[in-house]
Structure 1
């Protein structure tokens, strides 16, 4: 029984990786090397490299750099993997007893970026 408890404790330990908080399109995203993030539409073709200069925080291996408002000299680079559109969001308004209704749909464009490097 004791050996099983030891294994479960080992499994719960987290692997500390370097990550960054970037700002693009008016939103903030957590970026890790090798991970994909979905950001607001960027003007870049699929397969091209993009660089994010607005890095708010870089952390990992026990230390963290927090910018005021951004970390000086820090960049995050990634490769554009896909340009796409989200699922449709439908809004419907109506006024009861007036035969008035309005149905609208919207699909938000996005860019899928795979993070290649975090330079701090």
Structure 2
């Protein structure tokens, strides 16, 4: 039996924790829905299918590259479907899949919670920051 140092044991524990963290379904979902434009895209598509151009206009702060990348990731995750209609110009529509639709009530609950509690969070942050400036 080999003897391990405390540093080796901490390193092994860190690797084990990181593996569990990477496999955790909650963390994997929060990682996706926590991305900058995801919640806004889901909110828009919850109202019905949208063309790419409509999403682009609605999410005016998102670059074309970022919007496209985010839509592709959501499609890969099975949360939305992309439909291409041959026309001149080509028409591309996005809609929530049943899996994506099942996420809408969760996002709405998070939105309600945030709206009800953001003032308390802001006050707590200000108090904490003030304490850090005047220890």
After TM superposition, the score normalised by the length of structure 1 is 0.30
Tell me the TM-score normalised to structure 2 length: 0.28
Q: Hey, which of these two has a bigger chunk of helix by percent?
A: 2
Q: More strand per residue: 1 or 2?
A: 1
Choose between structure 1 and 2 for higher RCO, CA contacts under 8 A separated by at least 6 residues.
1
